[in-house]
Amino acid sequence: MDTFLEVIDAIALFIEVLGVAIIVGGFAITSWRFLHHRMFHEQRAFMHYRHGIARALILGLDFLIAGDVIKTVIIANTGQQVATLGVIVLIRAFLAFTLHVEVEGHWPWQDSRYLGAADGGRRNSPERER
C-alpha cells in the first residue's frame, strides 16, 4: 500500500509541476509574442498579450487543482485538508470566472455568437479595439 501511495504522490507532484510549467511557459511565450508584435506596431498586441496570459493562468490553475485533488482525496484526506481544498477550488473558480469575462468580454453563460448581432456588430469591429 505504501508503494501505491508513493506512486500517487509522485503523479500528483508531476501534475503540479506541469501546471507551474504551463503558467511559466505560457507567460514566456506570450511575452515573446507581445514583444515581437510590438516591434511591428500591431495595434492589438496588448489585447493578445492579456488574453495569452489569462489562458496560461487558467490552464495552469486547472493542473494545480488536479494535483491538489489527487493529494487530498487519495493521500491525506483529513477534514482540514478537504476544507482547504474546497477554499482553493472556490478561489480558482472565481479566478476562472473573472478571467473569462476579461478575455472574452462577456459573461460565461452568454453565447458569443449572438453578441455581435445584439450590439450591432460593434463587439468585433476595429473601432471597438482602438
pLDDT tens per residue across span 4-51: 888 988 999 999 999 999 999 999 999 998 888 776 666 778 888 888
Q: Between these two residues, 88 and 113, which has the higher pLDDT value? A: 88
- The answer to whether 54 and 99 are in contact (CB under 8 A) is yes
Q: Flag whether pLDDT at 81 surpasses 50.
A: yes
pLDDT tens per residue across span 99-122: 878 777 777 777 766 665 545 444
The CA angle 105-35-55, to the nearest 5 degrees, is: 35
Within 13 Å of residue 107, how many CA atoms lie on the same side as its CB? 2
Task: Find the mean pLDDT for residues 84-111.
Answer: 81
Q: Between these two residues, 128 and 52, which has the higher pLDDT value? A: 52
pLDDT at 63: 93
Helices of type H across 1-111:
2-39, 45-70, 79-104
Region for 105 from its dihedrals, namely left if φ exceeds 0, alpha if ψ lies in -120 to 50, beta otherwise: left
Distance between CA 26 and CA 50 in Å, rounded? 11
Q: Flag whether pLDDT at 60 surpasses 60.
A: yes
